[in-house]
C-alpha cells in the first residue's frame, strides 16, 4: 500500500456533472498521477464507498461528491494538514473541508456552495470538529475505518464515519482546503434524509445532540420538527422558493481575485500543540 499517495473516490449518478465539476478540477490536472475510482449503480453512499475502500491501493482516501470542484493547490494543502497533525502526534480520524463543532457558529472551513455562497470560518490550520459535511471526507485506509453498510441512501454517512472514528479514539478535523460545491440547492430536505437522521439517532444515542451541517440531531427532534412544519406551511401556501441550479461551469462562480485569495497555498501555520 502506498502511504503517501491519494485515491479519489466518487459515487456517481450523472457522468455529465462529474465531467463538468470534479474531473474539471485543476487539482486533478496538476501533473501528479492520481488514482480515481468512480462508483456507479449503488443504492447507498456507504456501499459505494466501501467497495472503493476494498479496491484502493493507496492509504489516503478522498471521498468527494461528483459536483465538487477542487482548485489548484488543493492536494498540497491537504498534505500540509496531514503533516501538521502527524508532526504533532495527533491520531486523526477523518478530515474534511467543512465541519461542525458544538459551540461554534457557522461551521469551520471556508467553502462555496450554490445558494449559500461563501460560508464557514477560513482556517489556517486544522481545527477539531464533531462532524464533517459529506462534500469531502478523507481518512487513511490503514485506520480500518469503513462506512456503515446498513445506513441507507446518501445522507449523513459523514456524520456516522466521524462518530465511528471518535469511538476508536481518533479526532476529526476541518482543514484549510477550500473547494466549491456546485450543487442544485435543496429547499426541502427529502424523506431519505429523515430516514438517515432517524438511523443516526438510534445508532448514537449517547452522542446526542449531534451537530451536523443540515441540522442538529437531538433526543426530542426540536430542529427537525421545526423544519418539517415550516416546509409544510410554505408548500401549502405556495411560498416554497425556487431552488438555484448548479452553474454550467464552476469556474464562473468566483471572481479571479477570490480564487487567488482562497486557493493560495500560502498562509498555512502549524498547530500550537
Residue 208 has a pLDDT of: 97
Residue 11 has a pLDDT of: 98
Residue 269 has a pLDDT of: 54
36 is a domain residue: yes
CA distance 212 to 164: 15
SS3 76: helix
211 is a domain residue: no
138 is a domain residue: yes
β-strand pairing of 136-140 with 58-64:
antiparallel
221 is a domain residue: no
Which residues partner with 171 through β-bridges?
Answer: 92
Number of domains the chain is built from? 1
Q: Count Cβ atoms below 10 Å from residue 69 Cβ, excluding itself.
A: 26
189 is a domain residue: no
142 is a domain residue: yes
CA distance 185 to 188: 9
Instruction: Identify whether the C-beta of residue 152 lies closer than 8 Å to the C-beta of residue 196.
Output: yes
CA distance 176 to 126: 7
Sign of CA dihedral 194, 158, 1, 7: positive
Q: What is the mean pLDDT for each group of 10 consecutive residues in the chain (273 residues)?
A: 87 96 92 88 98 97 97 93 96 97 92 90 95 98 98 97 98 97 82 96 97 94 90 74 80 84 63 44
CA distance 249 to 88: 39
CATH code of the domain containing 25: 3.90.550.10
> Model-level pTM?
0.93
Altogether, the residues listed in the chain come to a count of 273
130 is a domain residue: yes
143: nearest Cα among 179, 183, 172: 172
Max Cα–Cα distance, the chain, nearest Å? 57
Q: Which domain holds residue 180?
A: 2-184+244-263
Amino acid at each position: 500500500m502506498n502511504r503517501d499517495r491519494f485515491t479519489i473516490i466518487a459515487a456517481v449518478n450523472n457522468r455529465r456533472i462529474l465531467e463538468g465539476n470534479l474531473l474539471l478540477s485543476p487539482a486533478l490536472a496538476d501533473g501528479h498521477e492520481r488514482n480515481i475510482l468512480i462508483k456507479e449503480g449503488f443504492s447507498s453512499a456507504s456501499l459505494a464507498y466501501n467497495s472503493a475502500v476494498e479496491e484502493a491501493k493507496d492509504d489516503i482516501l478522498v471521498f468527494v461528491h461528483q459536483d465538487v470542484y477542487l482548485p489548484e493547490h488543493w492536494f498540497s494543502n491537504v498534505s500540509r494538514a496531514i503533516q501538521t497533525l502527524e508532526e504533532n502526534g495527533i491520531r486523526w480520524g477523518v478530515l474534511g473541508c467543512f465541519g461542525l463543532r458544538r459551540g461554534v457558529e457557522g461551521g469551520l472551513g471556508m467553502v462555496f456552495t450554490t445558494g449559500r455562497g461563501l460560508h464557514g470560518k477560513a482556517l489556517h490550520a486544522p481545527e477539531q470538529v464533531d462532524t464533517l459535511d459529506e462534500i469531502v471526507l478523507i481518512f487513511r485506509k490503514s485506520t480500518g475505518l469503513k462506512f456503515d453498510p446498513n445506513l441507507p441512501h446518501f445522507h449523513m454517512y459523514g456524520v456516522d464515519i466521524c462518530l465511528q472514528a471518535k469511538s476508536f479514539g481518533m479526532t476529526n478535523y476541518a482543514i484549510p482546503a477550500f473547494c466549491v460545491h456546485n450543487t442544485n440547492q435543496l429547499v426541502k430536505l427529502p424523506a431519505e434524509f429523515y430516514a438517515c437522521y432517524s438511523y443516526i439517532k438510534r445508532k448514537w444515542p449517547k452522542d446526542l445532540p449531534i451537530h451536523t451541517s443540515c441540522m442538529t440531531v437531538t433526543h426530542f427532534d426540536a430542529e427537525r420538527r421545526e423544519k418539517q412544519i415550516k416546509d409544510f406551511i410554505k408548500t401549502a401556501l405556495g411560498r416554497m422558493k425556487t431552488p438555484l441550479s448548479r452553474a454550467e461551469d464552476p469556474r464562473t462562480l468566483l471572481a479571479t481575485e477570490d480564487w487567488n485569495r482562497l486557493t493560495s497555498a500560502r498562509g498555512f501555520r502549524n498547530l500550537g500543540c
